[in-house]
Structure 1
Amino acid sequence: MGKITGFMEFERIEEGYRPIKERVKHHKEFILALTDEQAKVQGARCMDCGIPFCNNGCPVNNIIPDFNDLVYRQDWENAWAVLDSTNNFPEFTGRICPAPCEEACTLNVNDEPVGIKSLEHAIIDRAWENGWVKPRAARIKTGKKVAVVGSGPAGLAAAQQLARAGHEVTLFEKNDRLGGLLRYGIPDFKMEKGHIDRRVEQMKAEGVNFRTGVIIGKLPEGSKVTNLAKESIDPKELQKDFDAVLLAGGAEQSRDLPVPGRNLDGVHFAMEFLPQQNRVNAGDKIKGQISAAGKHVIVIGGGDTGSDCVGTSNRHGAASVTQFELMPEPPEQENKELTWPYWPYKLRTSSSHEEGCEREFAIATKEFIGEKGKVTGLKTVRVEWKDGKMTEVAGSEQTLKADLVLLAMGFVSPVATILEGFGVDKDARGNAKASTDFIGGYATSIPKVFAAGDIRRGQSLVVWAIREGRQAARAVDEFLMGFSDLPR
């Protein structure tokens, strides 16, 4: 514990943002990271609790009190070593994780929590700047071949761990670039894609073989999932050619809103809208790009994906942006006595909301209306919740103008055909059925086929995907070798 009274002396310091008028003119990151002195003060606030709830609140179990103390002492290289021991990609989580660790911080019981996420961000950025992040190729090869399907955070984490264990790893990605929804879902203004690229270069040096533009099996007829695959491989071939297969393809089937007028032009899934902008930012030419410029935009869905649609629409120059949420407006402050150290239900306002957005709560869409095949508005109704049931409020119907509607209501399941291609049993939600047991974890119903990340647990956080990728890597290594030294 660097400074025994630090938590009483210092207030929480937030990372800053560039001015709204400046940042909405581009798609680059705009967070102002902590200075060394600010990071030192933030680290000094850590109480080094007897029971570090932050560690358990973090899905990858980062050793948070240790790196907080090391930052306070300005021992950045050892702080990075501690962080690197539990998290393959802190530059991802340090930018886009909602920080459940901070909600679990003991200081959060009656004060503001330690800015753990901002310290993670500062540590990994300094590590890259100083060249501390280097390839760690295995000294001994096992001769075992592993196929990883999907290059999102779960697939990348698993592939890196398995390569470091000495296995020959080939990672398959259906898109033309690596990263999954990190690449074609998360806006560049939240995480620029160079962070993915330099990790890929590190992993190539560690022996991972990447194959893009390859789909395993076939997509369903009429699938809305982005697919630029130039080659397809039968799942049975992977089972024959590799000693183990890990499915880490994510959960990409968007939840739809089947109301009258759904087929009008101008009503799109968020995951049709967001990936296009990422591709344009990468230099691609998109014919007929979905644009919010000059339009009245309504985003249906109050989560992070909806917020991303808000920020992107503002950067397009939308005339107005409104975000709908079916649930009632949460309280601005949670009841900490009831919720701590768990993730609380409270109102969360993102940087995108601050850039310009009307937020409507407890509202449902009854119908999309349009003219000449194009959406022009929505018919809505107010709803109320009682005993867990939703009822419409009589007389609350109204019509709102909309030139573009973006559906951001979450994801319901992985692409079904990949699971069917392998013959993997599915759970009630359509995900790959596999447990997380210490022995035999992440194994599916098909011999030598494993599953991890959103394809197994359903839509979740990047940090959970990294955790599952790491744990699945250990399970695969143990399956192949009879034991494993990889951390779980």
Structure 2
Amino acid sequence: MGKPTGFLEYERKEASAVSPLCRIKNFNEFHTPLSKEEQQKQAARCMECGVPFCQAGMTIKGMTSGCPLNNLIPEWNDLVYQGNYEMAYRRLHKTSNFPEFTCRVCPALCEKACTCGLNGDAVSTKENEMAIIEYAYANGLADAKPPKVRTGKRVAVIGSGPAGLAVADQLNRRGHSVTVYERNDKVGGLLRYGIPNMKLEKQIIDRKVKIMEQEGVSFIVNANVGDNVKANDVVSKYDAVILCCGSSNPRDIAATGRKEAKGIHFAVDFLTSTTKCLWANNMQLVDGEYISAKGKDVIIIGGGDTGNDCVGTAIRHGCKSVIQLEMMPKAPDVRAESNPWPQWPLVCKTDYGQQEAIVKFGHDPRVYTTTVKEFKTDKNGNLKSAVLVSLESQVDKKTGRKMMVPVDGTEKEVPCQLCLIAAGFLGSQDYVTKAFKVDVDGRTNVASVNANSFATNVKKVFTAGDMHTGQSLVVKAIRQGRDCAREVDEYLMGYSNL
């Protein structure tokens, strides 16, 4: 290990953030990285534990503990402490295809399982990861390295989100010729249009895609397989096809007036319209080219990361007010005794959008155990207000399941001209699954032939990522892509060295 007493001598330090009132003036990433010397001190805090939970990626009580990619975290922490960034990059790159993405958008499952976090502050692993990958780009270590030998096998990947990109990257390294089909105008899937620019600037995606192209991966955009591209043509043209189209069906809500009111949108459509407008207009918003929250009272239904992203985006639009509704009660501020380390901590997290709302409007935007009961409109059908209702937990007598049900008499009408539904996603879209004739499970996720496989019921058609598992994390989608690539490689070659 680097410095045996490092965790005792140095306190955790993170990259400094631009103040909320300043950063809401634009859509740029807003953290300033630590100096190289300070980053080495942070890496020195790693204890190189005998049992490094940070890289375990285990499931404990249904929740992931540690890195799903099994990144060799103590090893590259030690190398950062020594100042050997080149070797640290090589260790990181062994397990992670896209550290430039995960160091920005991952919720840091590694840090939540860090042993230092048991009685203090965890090692700043995400910060160290960013330092490594940005050093690699700055010093030519991450430049294109095309495979020296091609196998003659052709592979199609449908979807260019994190799972699709990981599959493509791995199989191209192996020497297969990979073509990625993307239905949108740019590569990246939800990395591109589901995550706001201030969390992941899109030139970061373009930088990696350019390298993948230089290494031999082909990308075809505006190619909606199952719509303007025939699935049968793709299957007949390639030796293997991998479906990585994501969990793309947004969950709706059943409230009176939902269908009639103008001004209700799914969160992904709201975020997508903003990103597309920014990148079409030199990072400036142009009226009429995006779903605007400017001057409006905004209600966001959903308390997760996407809901928070909508809060931050609406504030940057110049909204009049913002409320974020959460069906469940507020989580505790500290770990409960029933939720010990190294389990994922079920605690209340105040993210960047909520921080900005607190500073901008003077209060936390979140309202717990509450949902919308009814939407009301003006004479032109435009949304003007919403009737909120409190919820309480009850047990269904037939199934024994706990449910959140409305409490009569708690209704409250609040002004609202824009409502964003950020209630998650339900599964794959059936026009794709029907086009490929693949089986789906009860949640409309693409089913595999067995629990440990990525092969579908259709010959030479595989699946990975959220389309296979349901909505999850970017880091888990990358792991899915890597594991799927190995199975596809074995299918094509009879063995795999991935």
TM bracket, shorter-chain basis: over 0.9
Which residue matches 1:338?
Answer: 339
2:328–2:404 contact (8 Å) kept in structure 1: no
Match for residue 229 of structure 1? none
Deviates more, 1:302-311 or 1:414-423: 414-423
Question: Could you report, residue by residue, the CA deviation over 1:139-165 in whole angstroms, capped at 9, with x for unpaired residues?
Answer: 111110100000111111110111110
C-alpha separation between the residues in 2 aligned to 1:111 and 1:437? 39
Q: Distance in 1 between matches of 2:187 and 2:118?
A: 40
Task: Indicate yes or no: 2:440 matched with 1:426.
Answer: yes
For residues 480 and 100 of structure 1, the distance between their equivalents in structure 2, rounded to whole angstroms, comes to: 34
SS of alignment partner, residue 280 of structure 2: coil
Q: For residues 361 and 21 of structure 1, what CA distance do their matches in structure 2 show?
A: 25
Q: Give me the CA root mean square deviation.
A: 1.4
Equivalence for 1:417: 431
Report 1:22-33 matches (<5 A): 22-33=22-33
Instruction: Work out whether residues 261 and 369 of structure 1, in 8 Å CA contact, stay in contact via their aligned partners in 2.
Output: yes
Mapping of residues 40-119 of structure 1, within 5 Å: 40-56=40-56, 57-119=66-128
1:476 aligns with 2:488: yes
- Comparing 280-289 with 350-359, which one deviates more in the overlay? 280-289
Write the letter of the residue equivalent to 1:280: C
Alignment of 1:233-382 (within 5 A): 233-263=229-259, 264-283=261-280, 287-335=288-336, 338-356=339-357, 357-372=364-379, 373-382=381-390
How much does 1:437 deviate? 5.7
Q: Deviations over 1:157-216 (max 9, x none)?
A: 110111110111111001111100111111001111111111111111111111111111
Question: Is the CA contact 1:425–1:445 (under 8 Å) kept in the aligned structure 2?
Answer: yes
Contact kept, 8 Å, 1:280 with 1:286, in 2: the verdict is no
Residue 102 of structure 1, CA deviation: 0.8
Match of 2:135 among 126, 129, 147: 126
What secondary structure sits across from 2:193 in the alignment?
coil
Q: Distance in 2 between matches of 1:177 and 1:422?
A: 23
Change (3 A) 1:88 1:216: same
- The residue identity in structure 2 corresponding to 1:470 is R
Q: Encode CA deviations 1:438-476: one digit per residue, 9 max, x unaligned.
A: 6xx211111110000010011111101111111111111
> Structure 1 residue 78: deviation in Å?
0.9
* Equivalent AA in structure 2 for residue 426 of structure 1: V
TM-score (norm 1): 0.94
The alpha-carbon deviation at position 386 of structure 1 amounts to 4.6
CA-to-partner distance for each residue in 1:322-381, whole Å, 9 max, x for gaps?
100000000011126633212221101111111115210010211111112011111111
Do the aligned residues in 2 keep the contact of 1:147 with 1:244 (CA within 8 Å)? yes
Distance in 2, matches of 1:50 and 1:4, equals 13
> Contact 1:55/1:63 (CA < 8 Å) preserved in 2?
yes
Partner of 1:462: 474
Could you tell me whether the CA contact under 8 Å between 2:273 and 2:289 is conserved in 1?
no
Q: Normalised by the size of structure 2, how large is the TM-score?
A: 0.92
Structure 1 counterpart of 2:59: none
Counterpart contact for 2:449–2:457, Cα < 8 Å: no
Change over 3 Å in CA distance of 1:251–1:5 after alignment to 2: same
1:360 partner amino acid: V
Counterpart secondary structure, 2:95: coil
What is the CA distance between 1:427 and its match in structure 2? Answer: 1.0
Question: 1:109 touches 1:336 (CA, 8 Å); kept in 2?
Answer: no
Q: Give the Cα separation in 2 of the matches to 1:379 and 1:359.
A: 16
Looking at structure 2, the residues matched to 458 and 435 of structure 1 have their Cα atoms a distance apart, in angstroms, of 17
1:185 alignment counterpart: 194
Would the aligned equivalents of 1:276 and 1:286 in 2 still touch at CA under 8 Å?
A: no
How many Å separate the matches in 2 of 1:247 and 1:52? 34
- Partners of 1:281 and 1:78 lie apart in 2 by 37
Q: Which one of the candidate residues 463, 468, 476 is aligned to 1:451?
A: 463
Which 4+ residue blocks in structure 1 deviate beyond 4 angstroms?
284-288, 435-438
Structure 1: distance between partners of 2:378 and 2:391: 27
Rounded to whole Å, the distance in 2 between the matches of 1:167 and 1:362 is 51
Task: Determine what percentage of the aligned residue pairs are the same residue.
Answer: 46
Alpha-carbon deviation of 1:392? 2.8
Q: In the alignment, is the contact (CA less than 8 A) between 1:364 and 1:381 conserved in 2?
A: yes
Q: Deviations for 1:207-253, whole angstroms, at most 9, x for unmatched residues?
A: 111111111113xxxxxxxxxxxxx2211111111100000111111
SS at match of 1:318: coil
Contact 2:2 2:44 in 1 (8 A): yes
Distance 1:398 1:287 in 2: 32
Aligned length: 471
AA aligned to 2:387 is K
Q: Residue 216 of structure 1 aligns to a residue in which SS? A: coil
Contact 2:327-2:404 at 8 Å conserved across structures: no
* Superposed displacement of residue 288, structure 1: 4.9
Q: Is the partner of 2:132 in helix, strand or coil?
A: helix
- Cα deviation 1:24-50 (Å, max 9, x = unaligned): 111111111122122112111111111
Work out the CA distance in 2 between the residues paired with 1:436 and 1:363: 40
